[in-house]
Amino acid sequence: MKRKAAIIGSGNIGTDLMIKIIRNSSVLEVGCLVGIDPNSDGLARAKRMGVETCSEGIDGLIQMDIWKEITVIFDATSAKAHLYNLEKIKPFSDKKIVDLTPAAVGPYVIPAVNFDAELCNKLGLVTAINSESVLNMVTCGGQATIPIVAAVRRIAHVHFGEIVASIASKSAGPGTRANIDEFTETTSEAIQKIGGADKGKAIIILNPAEPPLVMRDTVFTLSETADRETIRESIHAMVAEVQKYVPGYTLHQEVQFDDIPADKPVFIEGLGYKHGLKTTVLLQVIGAGHYLPEYAGNLDIMTSAALAVGEKMIG
């Protein structure tokens, strides 16, 4: 018997997640799609698909009969709204929460990293996510790039990890635009906490190109010197792991390496001068096209990862 999930947020991410659960999940079903705009496209689409809706936010959902049947709540609103929603949900200890905003309240989760016990042991991470009631999905850029940092880290100590996420402007809704600062801060922190780098840096670019380009991500790491082929194999294995839940996730070019010699170190703020092996990884993420076009890979990787986590949380 499928367990019921509620999705708070009827925008791009919430609507895409709703369709993914309906089409792909064998253990979850959408009990209710929640928004605050009764005229939103997401709520209208949910009604057409036979999904119960609520246009009065979390307060309205709690008053509905369906509330007592909800097991997992996906919050696809904004960092600020999540804090409000969380306070309303806290008294109901039987509810699990998957946070798709950059609020960073609960532990960060990257399925390809946190679900791998061996990798978690190497990175010093906790794997028992089922005991947590609130889990944070970092950001779309974090979901795409942090697995690569972790792939390098399991081979060699990573001094610095920098990611650049480029997404189509058309795929960035009001929630994404209102959370740019939170995006960079949360992703940078997760590069360290989940990726295992001593220091992290994140940059997001909203690309206005027409026609819209697919999501592209560039990952730079500076690590201790290690065997290049071993690092390359680790990265390829990680890409294959992410592809299990995001089929459109691929290497855009082959992995590139550069030596940073000891007599020509680079300065990293907060770390000082460092040398070693620079690894460059170029990725692209093509969306499944469930709600928005394929160029919206940034939505696809967030919703696909969130679904994987939600299913894991209920066992």
Active site residues: 140
Phi, psi of 285 (to 5 degrees): -130, 115
Quick one: angle between helices 12-24 and 297-313, nearest 10?
Answer: 60
Quick one: angle between helices 140-153 and 228-243, nearest 10?
Answer: 140
CA atoms of 271 and 220, how far apart (whole Å): 16
Nearest CA among 306, 304, 146, 312 for reference residue 238: 146
Side-chain-facing half-sphere of 104: CA atoms under 13 Å: 17
| Count of C-beta atoms within a 10 Å radius of residue 193 | 18
Cβ atoms of 297 and 12 within 8 Å: the answer is: no
Cβ atoms of 16 and 292 within 8 Å: the answer is: yes
